[in-house]
Amino acid sequence: MGRAPVSSDRGGSAPGAPRRPRNIVVWGSALCLIAFISASVATLPFSSRWYNVQALGRAVRHRPAAAPVVDIAAYARASGATAATVPEPTAAPMTRLAHGASSWLGHDDLGRSLLFRLLPGYLVSLLVGLSAALIAVIVGTTWGAVAGLAGGRVDLAMMRIVDLLYGLPYVLMVIVLKVALSQPLTQLFAGRTRLAEIVVLFAAIGGMSWLTMARVVRGQVLSLRAQGFVEAARAAGAGPWHILRRHILPNLVGPIAVYATLVVPQAILQESFLSFLGIGIQQPTPSLGRLAADGVEAVNTFVGYWWLIVYPCAALALTLLALNFLGDRLRDALDPRSVA
C-alpha cells in the first residue's frame, strides 16, 4: 500500500524534460492557424473587391480590344478600391515586385493580387474542412453510437448502409450529389449560384466524411460496452441512460475529437483535389485547391511563375501540419492517463 504514492510521484516528475520542444510545435501550429484565419477575416472586405470578376469584367471591357495587359487602374476604379490599397496602375499581370501589401505574394495572370485571393480562398477551404468535420461528428457519432448500442440486426443494417456508401466511387458520388443538389439549392438560395455551389460541395464532402466516423464510433462503443467499468455500473444498478451518459459518451470524446481533427485536413485536401479537377469550387471563388490548379496552369518551362503555385501549396501544407499537430496534442490532453 505504501508503495503506490512513491510510484505515482515518480511518474509525475519524469516527463518534464522532453515536453518543451513539442510545446513549441503545438504553440507554433496554433499561432499559424490563428494568424491565417485572422488575416483571412480581416482582409475579406478588401479582397472581395480584388477578385470580384464583375468589376474585372468591366475593367476588361473598358479596353475594347481586351488587351493582354489588364488595366489595373480601371479594375481598381471599377471595383471601388481606395487609393491606399490599390497598387500602382503600372502593375502588370504575372508580376511580383509591385507596390504595397497587395503585391507581397505577387499577382496572377489577370493581375489580381495573390495575397487577396489566397486569404479568402483559405477561409473557403477551412470552411469546407470544418463543415465536413461538423457533419462527421454529428451524423457519424449518432449513427455509430446507435448502431453500437442497439446491436443485433439494427447494427447490421446500419453498418451495411455505411459499407454500401463506402463502396461507391467517391468522385462519382460528388458529381452525382452536385448534379442532384445544384438545382434545388440554387432555388433555395434565391439564385445565388456561387453560394449554392459551395454548399453543394460542403454537403458532398460532408456526406462522405461521416462514414469513417460512424465506423470508428461504433467500434469504440462496442469495446466500451464490454469494459469492466460498464459491467460494474450495471452491477451497481445503473440503467442504460446512466451508462451512456456517464461512461460511454465521456470515453467517446477523445476518439471523436481526434478523428474530427483528422477530418478537417482530409476534407481540405479533397476539396483541393476536386477543385483541381474542376468539379469543386468554380472560378472566380478562390480556394486553396483552385488557386493551386490555376498556378499549375500558369507554370511553364519558359517563365516560372512559381509564386502562383508555391504560396497556395505552402499555405495548404502549413495548415494541414498545424491541424495534425493540434489533433495529436488534443488526444494527449483528453487522455486522463497523461495527466501525471
Dig out the grid coordinates for 127 from the structure.
470552411
Determine if 246 is a binding residue for other proteins (CB under 8 A).
Answer: yes
Determine if 235 is a binding residue for other proteins (CB under 8 A).
Answer: yes
CB of 332 vs other proteins, minimal distance in Å: 14
CB of 7 vs other proteins, minimal distance in Å: 7
Is the distance from CB of 233 to CB of 110 less than 8 angstroms? Answer: no
Give the Cα separation of 235 and 232 in Å (integer): 5
Using the rule CB under 8 A, give the single segment among 49-57, 79-87, 118-126, 226-234 that binds other proteins.
Answer: 226-234
Q: Measuring CA to CA, which residue among 207, 224, 237 is closest to residue 148? A: 224
Member of 169, 191, 228, 301 binding other proteins (CB under 8 A): 228
Using the rule CB under 8 A, give the single segment among 169-177, 208-216, 228-236, 310-318 that binds other proteins.
Answer: 228-236
Member of 19, 20, 153, 337 binding other proteins (CB under 8 A): 337
- Which stretches of the chain are DSSP H helices? 3-13, 19-50, 53-62, 72-79, 114-135, 141-150, 152-167, 170-188, 193-225, 228-235, 240-243, 249-277, 288-298, 307-334
Using the rule CB under 8 A, give the single segment among 123-131, 238-246, 287-295, 325-333 that binds other proteins.
Answer: 238-246
Dig out the grid coordinates for 294 from the structure.
490555376
* Neighbour tally for 307: CB within 10 Å: 19
Determine if 61 is a binding residue for other proteins (CB under 8 A).
Answer: no
Give the Cα separation of 116 and 312 in Å (integer): 12
Determine if 231 is a binding residue for other proteins (CB under 8 A).
Answer: yes
CB of 1 vs other proteins, minimal distance in Å: 6
What is the x/- site pattern for other proteins, positions 178-217, by CB under 8 A? ----------------------------------------
Determine if 4 is a binding residue for other proteins (CB under 8 A).
Answer: yes
Residue 80 backbone dihedrals phi, psi, to 5 degrees: 75, 25
Q: Is the dihedral of CA 132, 318, 123, 170 positive or negative?
A: negative
- Looking at beta carbons only, is 44 or 340 nearer to other proteins? 340
Member of 94, 173, 233, 318 binding other proteins (CB under 8 A): 233
Q: Measuring CA to CA, which residue among 112, 99, 119 is closest to residue 44? A: 119
Determine if 101 is a binding residue for other proteins (CB under 8 A).
Answer: no
For other proteins, the binding residues (CB under 8 A) are 1, 3-4, 7-8, 11, 227-229, 231-239, 242, 246-247, 250-251, 336-337, 339
